[in-house]
Structure 1
């Protein structure tokens, strides 16, 4: 009997990462394609999956997206600033090629689910996962279910207090100085004139960055009180960042609530670069 596999699609604004895995959520093959137009990128995705006998697919997509199955636009990417992808029927395009169950959620929800089932959220009832990179987004899980209502959360656009030493106006086209506008990779580059990974560890900017990340953790703690908050994305690969975030978080909380020990409460992904792929595989498996 030909083995059947799970498929994973991490659809990002810059690239699509596609993976093949088994029921043990082991990644067998993974490739990436540039995010250009739906016609070009999705054709490459379909071609990759056609090589395998696929039994279910999990999609974690950039958004906003329509997540409600009873909606006429379920499975669509909706009001994205990427004009070519506006109102694109992502799930419909995949269903035309693959008559299998398809899970559809945000890219950050998928990463949150990966950490929930196999990473730093495993064995816990709740977790929140942030990615801080080209953009900022977050997914929250309670008792195995995504926290969402009329749509998915957009925690990356929460309003933050400006650091007293920060004169940057913000880079978000919608809100200027929201969390994404102040702390995402493009905001760092616009301030410094170079990418975050090119800044020295002792650059004073990192204290400003930690202040904004700590505010995300502070707001999340007081609103959702999850058992763990996980910060992923390229910015948080700066290993010196986490201790700075812990210090700023303690100052912000100021003894008001007692959290788990910070080294276990505010962490980086246990799955490192794999939360999204493993999350999509796990969501695909859940559909069976």
Structure 2
């Protein structure tokens, strides 16, 4: 086996940061194995990135860190050739727009830095080690503080003008649903309907306090079904993994959405039977480790 520095027989350890809208996870390990894990709330850029540096610096000084991988919420500039590579763009997260995420960490730690979105990184982890194993065209959806969608084509994350921002598309609404949405940019885009803050606003209480059999979940399941059907039609994904804090803690939501998909697809795709959709649209095999594991993959490739 060859490490990322090219030395036969050696697998280098790297550090990874999953920078989420609510919490940050810092890990040490290598792709496929997390050796150490520290979690703390995502607050201001200075405090959050400072805590990451304080955690990683001793590992770096001990020779345990050969590179760093960052799996970040966004939107964030991921193109290395861009002048603002690693800078946060116009994010709904207060105080983070314009934060120099990659630059601050690279200057403090002095090691190669890889960067991708948290959802692209999670998609890589599920493709390499989890629910999307051997599915080169795969999608990872996180339903949590926001709604993000990572896309792999031929096993590689999709970049372009920026990176996929599927969470901000608008789709058909459930009949009779008058919720205005909670996205500060678009109102009733998918993030404005399905994110944790959106569900709290929709329900008038924390989603965790709403019973799985409460009819209030019906519109949310319809919104998720519309998103899944759109991704099946546009990307022809072999696997769509639905994770994130809300989805992982509300396991009834994905089956409810999946049950609505055949009617939405209208019999158009003969390969998308109800049985097939159970194989295509699945929960993450890595659970809450998908993002941190993806950060290690991104770091190992830096």
TM-score, structure 2 as length reference: 0.90
Contact 2:119 2:140 in 1 (8 A): yes
Residue 287 of structure 2: aligned partner: 272
Cα offset, 1:283, TM superposition: 1.5
Q: Is the 8 A contact 1:110 1:279 kept in 2?
A: yes
* Paired residues of 1:65 and 1:77 also in contact (CA < 8 A): yes
How many equivalent residue pairs? 285
Following the alignment from structure 2 to structure 1, what is the Cα–Cα distance between the partners of residues 48 and 251? 33
Aligned equivalents of 2:106 and 2:122: distance in 1?
23
The CA distance in 2 between the partners of 1:181 and 1:73, in whole Å, is 27
Tell me, in whole angstroms, the C-alpha distance in 1 between the residues paired with 2:46 and 2:92: 17
Structure 2 unaligned regions, length at least 5? 1-9
Query: Counterpart in 2 of 1:38?
Result: 45
Per-residue deviation, 1:141: 0.2
Q: Which residue of 2 aligns with 1:56?
A: 67
Query: For each residue in 1:23-72, what CA deviation from the matched residue of structure 2 results, as whole angstroms up to 9, or x when unmatched?
Result: x5211111122222222221110110112121111101111111111111
State which of 10, 28, 34 in structure 2 corresponds to 1:27.
Answer: 34
Q: Secondary structure at the match of 1:134?
A: coil
The answer (yes or no) to whether the contact 1:259–1:265 under 8 Å persists in 2 is no
2:263 is equivalent to residue 251 of structure 1: yes
1:150 to 136, 156, 161: 161
Alignment partners' CA distance in 1, 2:220 and 2:119: 20
Q: What value does the CA root-mean-square deviation take over the aligned residues?
A: 1.7
* Counterpart for residue 24 of structure 2: 16
2:177–2:219: 8 Å Cα contact kept in structure 1?
yes
After TM superposition, the structure 1 stretch with the greater mean CA deviation from structure 2, 266-275 or 116-125, is 116-125
State the distance in 1 between where 2:118 and 2:178 align: 31
Residue 159 of structure 1 pairs with residue 170 of structure 2? yes
Q: 2:6 maps to which residue?
A: none
Q: Could you say which residue in structure 1 is the equivalent of 2:7?
A: none
Kept in 1: contact 2:116–2:298 (CA 8 A): no
1:252-284 residue CA offsets vs partner (Å, 9 max, x unmatched): 001101345112101010101110011111121
- Structure 1, unpaired ranges of 5+: none
Give runs of aligned pairs for residues 210-249 of structure 1, distance below 5 A: 210-237=221-248, 238-249=250-261
Name the residue aligned to 1:263.
Answer: 278
